[in-house]
Amino acid sequence: MAALDSPARRDLLMHGPVLHVTGARPNFPKAAPVIRGLDALGVDQVLVHTGQHYDDRMSEVFFRELDLPRPDLNLGVGSASHAAQTARLMVELETVLLDRAPSLVVVYGDVNSTAAAAMVAAKLQQPLAHVEAGLRSFDLSMPEEINRMVTDRLSALLLCTSADAIAHLAREGADPASIHLVGNPMIDTLLASMDRFDVERARREHALEGRYAVATLHRPGNVDNPEDIAALVAAMHSVADQVPVVLPLHPRGRGRLREGGLFDHPGMRIVDPLGYLDFMGLVRGADLVVTDSGGVQEETTVLGVPCLTLRPNTERPVTITHGTNRLVTRENLAAATAETLAAGRPETWDVPPLWDGRAGERIASVIAGFLEEH
Protein backbone atom coordinates (compact mmCIF):
# COMPACT_ATOMS: atom_id res chain seq x y z
CA MET A 1 0.00 0.00 0.00
CA ALA A 2 1.33 3.45 -0.85
CA ALA A 3 1.91 6.03 1.84
CA LEU A 4 -1.34 7.42 3.15
CA ASP A 5 -2.01 10.88 1.75
CA SER A 6 -4.78 13.07 0.40
CA PRO A 7 -8.21 12.79 2.09
CA ALA A 8 -7.46 9.37 3.64
CA ARG A 9 -4.24 10.59 5.23
CA ARG A 10 -5.79 13.85 6.45
CA ASP A 11 -8.72 11.94 7.91
CA LEU A 12 -6.39 9.63 9.82
CA LEU A 13 -4.52 12.57 11.29
CA MET A 14 -7.78 13.76 12.83
CA HIS A 15 -8.03 10.55 14.84
CA GLY A 16 -5.83 8.97 17.46
CA PRO A 17 -2.48 7.30 16.82
CA VAL A 18 -1.66 3.64 16.51
CA LEU A 19 -0.44 2.72 19.98
CA HIS A 20 2.05 -0.15 20.34
CA VAL A 21 2.34 -1.92 23.70
CA THR A 22 5.63 -3.70 24.35
CA GLY A 23 6.95 -4.91 27.64
CA ALA A 24 9.23 -7.93 27.48
CA ARG A 25 12.28 -9.11 25.61
CA PRO A 26 10.36 -11.15 22.96
CA ASN A 27 8.21 -8.15 21.99
CA PHE A 28 10.93 -5.86 20.71
CA PRO A 29 12.18 -7.75 17.62
CA LYS A 30 8.54 -8.31 16.64
CA ALA A 31 7.54 -4.67 17.00
CA ALA A 32 10.51 -3.08 15.21
CA PRO A 33 9.52 -4.08 11.63
CA VAL A 34 5.87 -3.14 12.21
CA ILE A 35 6.78 0.31 13.51
CA ARG A 36 9.08 0.87 10.52
CA GLY A 37 6.38 -0.33 8.12
CA LEU A 38 3.77 2.03 9.54
CA ASP A 39 6.26 4.88 9.63
CA ALA A 40 6.86 4.39 5.90
CA LEU A 41 3.10 4.78 5.37
CA GLY A 42 3.01 8.00 7.36
CA VAL A 43 0.89 6.61 10.21
CA ASP A 44 1.06 8.47 13.52
CA GLN A 45 2.33 6.13 16.26
CA VAL A 46 2.94 5.98 20.00
CA LEU A 47 5.26 3.38 21.55
CA VAL A 48 4.57 2.30 25.12
CA HIS A 49 7.09 0.21 27.04
CA THR A 50 5.42 -1.21 30.13
CA GLY A 51 8.70 -2.05 31.84
CA GLN A 52 7.66 -5.66 32.45
CA HIS A 53 11.29 -6.46 31.56
CA TYR A 54 13.40 -3.62 32.91
CA ASP A 55 17.01 -4.86 33.10
CA ASP A 56 19.21 -3.28 30.42
CA ARG A 57 20.05 -6.69 28.93
CA MET A 58 16.38 -7.67 28.82
CA SER A 59 15.03 -4.38 27.51
CA GLU A 60 17.04 -1.22 26.81
CA VAL A 61 19.66 -2.95 24.69
CA PHE A 62 16.97 -3.86 22.16
CA PHE A 63 16.11 -0.23 21.51
CA ARG A 64 19.77 0.52 20.80
CA GLU A 65 20.46 -2.54 18.66
CA LEU A 66 17.22 -2.73 16.66
CA ASP A 67 16.98 0.97 15.84
CA LEU A 68 13.65 1.18 17.63
CA PRO A 69 12.43 4.67 18.45
CA ARG A 70 12.69 5.50 22.11
CA PRO A 71 9.41 4.73 23.90
CA ASP A 72 7.09 7.67 24.25
CA LEU A 73 6.11 6.24 27.63
CA ASN A 74 7.85 3.81 29.98
CA LEU A 75 5.47 2.66 32.69
CA GLY A 76 8.13 1.01 34.85
CA VAL A 77 5.80 -1.73 36.05
CA GLY A 78 8.56 -4.22 36.93
CA SER A 79 8.20 -7.79 38.09
CA ALA A 80 5.63 -9.32 40.43
CA SER A 81 3.31 -12.32 40.58
CA HIS A 82 1.13 -12.81 37.51
CA ALA A 83 -1.92 -11.34 39.23
CA ALA A 84 -0.13 -8.37 40.79
CA GLN A 85 1.78 -7.55 37.63
CA THR A 86 -1.28 -7.81 35.38
CA ALA A 87 -3.33 -5.65 37.74
CA ARG A 88 -0.61 -2.99 37.82
CA LEU A 89 -0.32 -3.11 34.04
CA MET A 90 -4.07 -2.65 33.59
CA VAL A 91 -4.19 0.35 35.91
CA GLU A 92 -1.29 2.07 34.16
CA LEU A 93 -2.44 1.20 30.64
CA GLU A 94 -5.99 2.42 31.29
CA THR A 95 -4.61 5.89 32.04
CA VAL A 96 -2.50 5.83 28.87
CA LEU A 97 -5.31 4.68 26.59
CA LEU A 98 -7.74 7.23 27.99
CA ASP A 99 -5.19 9.98 27.53
CA ARG A 100 -3.99 9.02 24.04
CA ALA A 101 -7.33 7.77 22.64
CA PRO A 102 -5.65 5.57 20.01
CA SER A 103 -7.36 4.58 16.79
CA LEU A 104 -5.82 1.11 17.24
CA VAL A 105 -3.86 -0.68 19.97
CA VAL A 106 -1.24 -3.14 18.70
CA VAL A 107 0.05 -5.90 20.99
CA TYR A 108 2.65 -8.59 20.44
CA GLY A 109 3.05 -12.20 21.48
CA ASP A 110 1.81 -13.64 24.75
CA VAL A 111 3.32 -11.84 27.74
CA ASN A 112 1.32 -10.29 30.58
CA SER A 113 1.62 -6.83 29.03
CA THR A 114 -0.16 -8.17 25.95
CA ALA A 115 -3.14 -9.60 27.81
CA ALA A 116 -3.41 -6.58 30.11
CA ALA A 117 -3.49 -4.17 27.17
CA ALA A 118 -6.07 -6.35 25.40
CA MET A 119 -8.45 -6.30 28.36
CA VAL A 120 -8.09 -2.56 28.91
CA ALA A 121 -8.60 -1.76 25.22
CA ALA A 122 -11.68 -4.00 25.04
CA LYS A 123 -13.31 -2.37 28.07
CA LEU A 124 -12.61 1.08 26.62
CA GLN A 125 -14.01 -0.10 23.27
CA GLN A 126 -10.74 0.71 21.50
CA PRO A 127 -9.91 -1.69 18.64
CA LEU A 128 -7.04 -4.13 19.09
CA ALA A 129 -4.59 -5.84 16.73
CA HIS A 130 -2.69 -8.94 17.86
CA VAL A 131 0.60 -9.69 16.14
CA GLU A 132 1.32 -13.44 16.40
CA ALA A 133 -2.34 -14.39 16.79
CA GLY A 134 -3.67 -17.94 16.80
CA LEU A 135 -0.71 -19.80 18.31
CA ARG A 136 -1.84 -22.58 20.63
CA SER A 137 -0.04 -25.11 22.82
CA PHE A 138 -3.37 -26.41 24.23
CA ASP A 139 -1.67 -26.44 27.63
CA LEU A 140 -3.54 -24.30 30.13
CA SER A 141 -0.81 -24.74 32.71
CA MET A 142 1.16 -22.21 30.65
CA PRO A 143 0.33 -18.59 31.57
CA GLU A 144 1.22 -17.63 28.02
CA GLU A 145 -1.53 -19.86 26.62
CA ILE A 146 -4.14 -18.04 28.67
CA ASN A 147 -2.74 -14.69 27.52
CA ARG A 148 -2.91 -15.81 23.88
CA MET A 149 -6.51 -17.00 24.12
CA VAL A 150 -7.75 -13.88 25.90
CA THR A 151 -5.97 -11.53 23.51
CA ASP A 152 -7.22 -13.28 20.38
CA ARG A 153 -10.81 -13.29 21.62
CA LEU A 154 -10.70 -9.51 22.06
CA SER A 155 -8.86 -8.56 18.84
CA ALA A 156 -10.34 -6.90 15.77
CA LEU A 157 -7.23 -7.78 13.72
CA LEU A 158 -5.65 -11.24 14.05
CA LEU A 159 -2.22 -11.16 12.39
CA CYS A 160 -0.91 -14.70 11.98
CA THR A 161 2.57 -16.10 11.42
CA SER A 162 1.51 -19.52 10.08
CA ALA A 163 -1.37 -21.49 8.57
CA ASP A 164 -1.89 -23.61 11.71
CA ALA A 165 -2.65 -20.40 13.65
CA ILE A 166 -5.38 -19.55 11.15
CA ALA A 167 -6.88 -23.03 11.57
CA HIS A 168 -6.97 -22.62 15.37
CA LEU A 169 -8.73 -19.26 15.09
CA ALA A 170 -11.25 -20.63 12.61
CA ARG A 171 -12.12 -23.51 14.97
CA GLU A 172 -12.61 -20.99 17.77
CA GLY A 173 -15.12 -19.04 15.70
CA ALA A 174 -13.07 -15.95 14.88
CA ASP A 175 -14.44 -13.71 12.15
CA PRO A 176 -12.63 -14.77 8.93
CA ALA A 177 -12.44 -11.13 7.84
CA SER A 178 -10.31 -10.34 10.90
CA ILE A 179 -7.69 -13.04 10.17
CA HIS A 180 -4.62 -12.26 8.05
CA LEU A 181 -1.62 -14.47 7.24
CA VAL A 182 1.25 -11.98 7.31
CA GLY A 183 4.37 -13.98 8.17
CA ASN A 184 6.68 -13.51 11.14
CA PRO A 185 7.98 -10.00 11.94
CA MET A 186 10.60 -11.37 14.32
CA ILE A 187 12.15 -13.08 11.30
CA ASP A 188 12.23 -9.69 9.55
CA THR A 189 14.49 -8.49 12.35
CA LEU A 190 16.64 -11.62 12.17
CA LEU A 191 17.14 -11.43 8.41
CA ALA A 192 17.85 -7.71 8.50
CA SER A 193 20.49 -8.24 11.20
CA MET A 194 22.24 -11.32 9.82
CA ASP A 195 25.46 -9.55 8.88
CA ARG A 196 25.72 -8.30 12.49
CA PHE A 197 25.62 -11.77 14.06
CA ASP A 198 29.33 -12.22 14.75
CA VAL A 199 30.05 -15.89 15.43
CA GLU A 200 33.80 -15.41 15.86
CA ARG A 201 33.29 -12.68 18.40
CA ALA A 202 30.90 -14.93 20.31
CA ARG A 203 33.49 -17.70 20.31
CA ARG A 204 36.18 -15.36 21.63
CA GLU A 205 34.00 -13.84 24.34
CA HIS A 206 32.93 -17.25 25.64
CA ALA A 207 36.28 -19.01 25.08
CA LEU A 208 34.72 -21.56 22.73
CA GLU A 209 36.76 -23.84 20.53
CA GLY A 210 35.14 -26.45 18.36
CA ARG A 211 31.55 -27.53 18.80
CA TYR A 212 29.25 -26.02 21.40
CA ALA A 213 25.59 -25.79 22.41
CA VAL A 214 23.46 -22.86 23.55
CA ALA A 215 20.63 -23.21 26.05
CA THR A 216 17.82 -21.01 27.36
CA LEU A 217 15.58 -22.04 30.27
CA HIS A 218 12.88 -20.00 31.99
CA ARG A 219 9.46 -21.72 31.71
CA PRO A 220 7.66 -22.36 35.01
CA GLY A 221 7.31 -26.03 34.07
CA ASN A 222 11.09 -26.31 34.05
CA VAL A 223 12.36 -23.94 36.73
CA ASP A 224 9.66 -23.44 39.39
CA ASN A 225 9.26 -26.86 41.02
CA PRO A 226 12.25 -28.08 43.08
CA GLU A 227 11.49 -31.70 42.12
CA ASP A 228 11.57 -30.79 38.44
CA ILE A 229 14.78 -28.83 38.86
CA ALA A 230 16.72 -31.90 40.02
CA ALA A 231 15.71 -33.76 36.85
CA LEU A 232 16.38 -30.69 34.71
CA VAL A 233 19.87 -30.23 36.13
CA ALA A 234 20.70 -33.89 35.52
CA ALA A 235 19.43 -33.60 31.94
CA MET A 236 21.44 -30.43 31.22
CA HIS A 237 24.55 -31.98 32.74
CA SER A 238 24.08 -34.89 30.33
CA VAL A 239 24.31 -32.38 27.48
CA ALA A 240 27.39 -30.75 28.99
CA ASP A 241 29.00 -34.19 29.22
CA GLN A 242 28.97 -34.21 25.41
CA VAL A 243 29.58 -30.59 24.40
CA PRO A 244 30.18 -27.25 26.18
CA VAL A 245 26.89 -25.45 26.90
CA VAL A 246 26.57 -21.66 27.07
CA LEU A 247 23.47 -20.70 29.03
CA PRO A 248 22.47 -17.02 29.22
CA LEU A 249 20.29 -17.36 32.28
CA HIS A 250 17.04 -15.45 32.68
CA PRO A 251 16.56 -14.00 36.19
CA ARG A 252 13.52 -16.24 36.56
CA GLY A 253 14.60 -19.35 38.44
CA ARG A 254 18.28 -18.41 38.58
CA GLY A 255 18.57 -18.90 42.33
CA ARG A 256 16.74 -22.22 42.27
CA LEU A 257 18.88 -23.51 39.42
CA ARG A 258 22.06 -22.49 41.22
CA GLU A 259 20.91 -24.22 44.40
CA GLY A 260 19.97 -27.29 42.32
CA GLY A 261 23.56 -27.63 41.12
CA LEU A 262 23.21 -26.49 37.50
CA PHE A 263 26.31 -24.30 37.80
CA ASP A 264 28.48 -27.12 39.15
CA HIS A 265 29.31 -28.94 35.89
CA PRO A 266 32.56 -27.70 34.27
CA GLY A 267 30.93 -27.88 30.85
CA MET A 268 28.10 -25.49 31.84
CA ARG A 269 28.99 -21.87 31.13
CA ILE A 270 26.37 -19.76 32.87
CA VAL A 271 26.31 -16.13 31.72
CA ASP A 272 24.04 -13.15 32.23
CA PRO A 273 21.30 -12.42 29.66
CA LEU A 274 22.75 -11.19 26.38
CA GLY A 275 21.68 -8.47 23.98
CA TYR A 276 19.98 -9.49 20.77
CA LEU A 277 23.04 -9.30 18.51
CA ASP A 278 25.34 -11.08 20.96
CA PHE A 279 22.83 -13.84 21.61
CA MET A 280 22.05 -14.40 17.94
CA GLY A 281 25.76 -14.48 17.09
CA LEU A 282 26.14 -17.22 19.67
CA VAL A 283 23.13 -19.15 18.32
CA ARG A 284 24.21 -18.80 14.70
CA GLY A 285 27.48 -20.61 15.39
CA ALA A 286 26.05 -23.34 17.63
CA ASP A 287 25.82 -27.00 16.73
CA LEU A 288 22.78 -27.39 18.95
CA VAL A 289 20.29 -25.30 20.92
CA VAL A 290 18.32 -26.56 23.92
CA THR A 291 15.45 -24.26 24.83
CA ASP A 292 12.01 -23.83 26.31
CA SER A 293 11.51 -20.49 24.53
CA GLY A 294 9.04 -20.00 21.70
CA GLY A 295 11.05 -17.35 19.89
CA VAL A 296 14.26 -19.37 19.88
CA GLN A 297 12.41 -22.22 18.15
CA GLU A 298 11.60 -19.77 15.34
CA GLU A 299 15.05 -18.22 15.11
CA THR A 300 16.82 -21.57 14.91
CA THR A 301 14.31 -22.66 12.25
CA VAL A 302 15.48 -19.86 9.95
CA LEU A 303 19.17 -20.20 10.85
CA GLY A 304 19.18 -23.96 10.28
CA VAL A 305 20.48 -24.69 13.79
CA PRO A 306 19.19 -27.96 15.30
CA CYS A 307 16.87 -27.13 18.21
CA LEU A 308 15.75 -29.42 21.01
CA THR A 309 12.73 -27.91 22.75
CA LEU A 310 12.52 -29.09 26.35
CA ARG A 311 8.73 -29.02 26.60
CA PRO A 312 5.87 -31.50 26.14
CA ASN A 313 4.26 -29.27 23.50
CA THR A 314 4.82 -26.23 21.34
CA GLU A 315 2.54 -23.48 20.10
CA ARG A 316 4.86 -23.28 17.08
CA PRO A 317 4.51 -26.70 15.38
CA VAL A 318 5.52 -25.10 12.08
CA THR A 319 9.09 -25.06 13.43
CA ILE A 320 8.92 -28.86 13.49
CA THR A 321 7.20 -29.37 10.13
CA HIS A 322 9.12 -26.56 8.39
CA GLY A 323 12.29 -26.20 10.41
CA THR A 324 14.93 -27.78 12.58
CA ASN A 325 13.00 -28.10 15.85
CA ARG A 326 12.21 -31.24 17.85
CA LEU A 327 10.35 -31.75 21.14
CA VAL A 328 12.28 -33.62 23.83
CA THR A 329 11.89 -34.61 27.46
CA ARG A 330 14.37 -34.47 30.30
CA GLU A 331 14.59 -38.25 30.09
CA ASN A 332 15.57 -38.42 26.42
CA LEU A 333 17.58 -35.19 26.16
CA ALA A 334 20.95 -36.93 26.44
CA ALA A 335 20.12 -39.36 23.63
CA ALA A 336 18.62 -36.61 21.47
CA THR A 337 21.78 -34.53 21.96
CA ALA A 338 23.99 -37.43 20.88
CA GLU A 339 21.84 -38.05 17.79
CA THR A 340 21.82 -34.38 16.84
CA LEU A 341 25.56 -33.95 17.23
CA ALA A 342 26.20 -37.13 15.23
CA ALA A 343 23.96 -35.92 12.39
CA GLY A 344 25.51 -32.45 12.29
CA ARG A 345 23.88 -29.27 11.09
CA PRO A 346 21.70 -29.68 8.00
CA GLU A 347 22.88 -28.33 4.67
CA THR A 348 19.32 -27.50 3.59
CA TRP A 349 16.09 -27.12 5.56
CA ASP A 350 12.53 -25.90 5.13
CA VAL A 351 11.41 -22.46 6.26
CA PRO A 352 7.73 -21.62 6.81
CA PRO A 353 5.88 -19.67 4.10
CA LEU A 354 6.12 -15.86 4.29
CA TRP A 355 9.02 -15.93 6.74
CA ASP A 356 10.77 -13.82 4.16
CA GLY A 357 11.65 -10.54 5.86
CA ARG A 358 8.56 -8.63 4.71
CA ALA A 359 6.03 -9.41 7.44
CA GLY A 360 6.32 -5.90 8.89
CA GLU A 361 5.32 -4.42 5.54
CA ARG A 362 2.33 -6.74 5.26
CA ILE A 363 1.20 -5.98 8.80
CA ALA A 364 1.52 -2.25 8.18
CA SER A 365 -0.59 -2.60 5.03
CA VAL A 366 -3.33 -4.50 6.87
CA ILE A 367 -3.36 -1.96 9.69
CA ALA A 368 -3.46 1.00 7.31
CA GLY A 369 -6.37 -0.59 5.46
CA PHE A 370 -8.20 -1.14 8.75
CA LEU A 371 -7.67 2.50 9.77
CA GLU A 372 -8.96 3.79 6.44
CA GLU A 373 -12.02 1.56 6.62
CA HIS A 374 -12.86 2.51 10.19
Strand partners, 327: 309
> Radius of gyration (Cα) for the chain, nearest Å?
20
Choosing from 218, 265, 322, 374, the catalytic residue is 218
- For range 126-151, the mean pLDDT: 97
- For range 204-214, the mean pLDDT: 96
Predicted local distance difference test score (pLDDT) of residue 221: 78
pLDDT in tens, 159-182: 999 999 999 999 999 999 999 999
Predicted local distance difference test score (pLDDT) of residue 57: 53
Predicted local distance difference test score (pLDDT) of residue 228: 86
The pTM (predicted TM-score) of the whole model is 0.92
Distances, alpha carbon 293 to alpha carbons 48, 80, 134, 297, in Å: 24, 20, 17, 7
Predicted local distance difference test score (pLDDT) of residue 79: 79
d(CA 168, CA 165): 5
69 burial class (0-12, 13-18, 19+ CB within 10 angstroms)?
A: middle
pLDDT in tens, 259-284: 999 999 999 999 999 999 999 999 99
Q: Is the pLDDT of residue 85 over 60?
A: yes
Strand partners, 250: none
Domains of the chain by range and CATH? 6-184+355-373 (3.40.50.2000), 198-343 (3.40.50.2000)
Predicted local distance difference test score (pLDDT) of residue 54: 53
Q: Is the pLDDT of residue 13 over 50?
A: no
Percent of the chain residues past pLDDT 90, beyond the cut: 81
Q: Is the pLDDT of residue 58 over 70?
A: no
Q: Is the pLDDT of residue 1 over 60?
A: no
Band (11; pLDDT cuts 50, 70, 90)? low
User: Which stretch of 1-5, 101-105, 177-181, 292-296 has the lowest confidence by average pLDDT?
Assistant: 1-5
Predicted local distance difference test score (pLDDT) of residue 51: 87
Closest-CA residue to 275 (of 331, 339, 197, 159): 197
Distances, alpha carbon 165 to alpha carbons 137, 161, 255, in Å: 11, 7, 36
Average pLDDT, the chain: 92
- For range 75-97, the mean pLDDT: 92
d(CA 290, CA 297): 9
Clarify whether 218 is annotated catalytic.
yes
Looking at per-residue confidence, does 225 or 33 come out higher? 33
Phi, psi of 328 (to 5 degrees): -135, 165
Q: Which amino acid is at 224?
A: D
Band (122; pLDDT cuts 50, 70, 90)? very high
DSSP, collapsed to helix, strand or coil, labels residue 261 as coil
Band (60; pLDDT cuts 50, 70, 90)? confident
Q: Is the pLDDT of residue 55 over 60?
A: no
Percent of the chain residues past pLDDT 70, beyond the cut: 94
d(CA 283, CA 215): 9
pLDDT in tens, 297-309: 999 999 999 999 9
d(CA 363, CA 360): 5
Side by side, which strands form the sheet with 73-74?
73-74, 45-49, 18-22, 104-108, 128-131, 157-160, 179-181
